[in-house]
Amino acid sequence: MKKLGFGIVGCGTVSTWHAQSVKAIEGTYLAGVTDVNKNTRDQFAKKYGVRSYDNYEHMLQQNDIDVVSICTPSGLHAPLAIQAAKAGKHIIVEKPMALNVKEADTMIEACEQNNVKLAVISQLRFSDATTRLKGALDEGLLGKLLVGTLSMKYYRSQEYYDQSSWRGTWKMDGGGALMNQGIHGIDLFQYMMGNVKSVFAHTRTMVRNIETEDTAVAILEFENGALGTIEGTTSIYPGYPRMLEINGSKGTIALEEDSILKWVIEGQNIPEGIVLGDRTNDSSSNPTAFGIDGHKKQIEDMAHAIWEDRKPLVDQHEGKKPVEIITAVYESSRTGKMITL
């Protein structure tokens, strides 16, 4: 089993989760980092005892880097991923994988042409609560899926947006409350409910001084006939935990962040080992209020995908799905029409 060397591009907040995860996984190591800001990259490299590269191109030339973690502002994800693919590097990219479907398709093509793997960070899929819910759905315990409800009533202050020039912009963030903060929940929603058939939505910028939406609501029809709703905002004080509820003909399961809040199935007791409301993460008002466990599990899955020559759980095709849904929400709000995916 070949040891895998990782390089990180973008040494901002989320890069810490990648660095700590890589260092905690057997068979992987952090080989180098780069950032457009010299002080930022040098301090990060010193903290983790690795090499600081003066530019991305230089880092991609290194033979000891097998995987690149892209932790930059969202608008740079697609071009940097394509560049890494052409250099023959496997890729882990933070959400969203791209700002629109066209960019995502270009990334997919670049990965296929250069025979590299790509994983899109969606760490919620790796929590114990998610695994339990997905298992119950796959077993058909809820019966026929009827309704899904996703509520993401977060709080981000104006100061949060003002701290970085790219946040809340169409060019570099690709959207607001849904594309940035809500995309993890939306990915989890479609992962549980299945592919989306159509979307009708309203988005608004109601409180924050930003280009993109701070408030959105959407009605979804899934290909399996189920219906769903999404509420996403960054303007509700003080912010509340993400809620995901799945209702079927034989029962209901609901998650609150990384915990199971409801488990009611006809003719069954709550399974052993499930503690209702045992929540450990809550980033509703603080975007850094979560541990590294989800990132570690997902990056470890990517490492095994490389070693075993298989697809990672959240590959480029899976990563494209929430981008499709969110951009359909934006198009529906802009046109006033229902959008078919």
Same domain (yes/no): 188, 108:
no
Does residue 42 sit in the same domain as residue 188?
A: no
204-252 pLDDT, tens digit each: 999 999 999 999 999 999 999 999 999 999 999 999 999 999 999 999 9
Say if residue 73 is in the same domain as residue 16: yes
Q: How far apart are alpha carbons 230 and 190 in whole angstroms?
A: 11
The pairing of strands 339-340 and 227-233 is unpaired
- Structure tokens that stand for 179 in this block: 């594309």
| Predicted pLDDT at 285 | 65
191 and 148 in one domain? yes
CATH number at residue 159: 3.30.360.10
Confidence band, pLDDT 50/70/90 cuts, at residue 289: low
Mean pLDDT value of segment 184-196: 98
Give the model's confidence band at 275: pLDDT under 50 very low, under 70 low, under 90 confident, else very high: confident
- What are 47-88's pLDDT values in tens digits? 999 999 999 999 999 999 999 999 999 999 999 999 999 999
Query: Are 217 and 172 members of one domain?
Result: yes
The secondary structure element, H or E, covering residue 197 is strand 196-204
- Same domain for 234 and 92? no
Q: What is the number of structural domains in the chain? A: 2
Together in a domain, 240 and 308 = no
Q: What is the CATH number of the domain that holds 33?
A: 3.40.50.720
Of the pLDDT bands very low, low, confident and very high (cuts 50, 70, 90), residue 181 is very high
For residue 72, the enclosing domain spans 4-123+293-315
| Mean pLDDT score of the chain | 96
Paired with 204 in beta bridges are 215
What average pLDDT does the segment 93-114 reach? 98
Q: Are 246 and 309 within one domain?
A: no
Question: What mean pLDDT is predicted for residues 122-135?
Answer: 96
Contact yes or no for 45/52 (Cβ under 8 A): yes
Q: What is the predicted pLDDT for the residue at 277?
A: 83
Domain match, 248 and 272 both: yes
Question: pTM score, two decimals?
Answer: 0.95
Is residue 221 domain-shared with residue 267, that is, in the same domain? Answer: yes
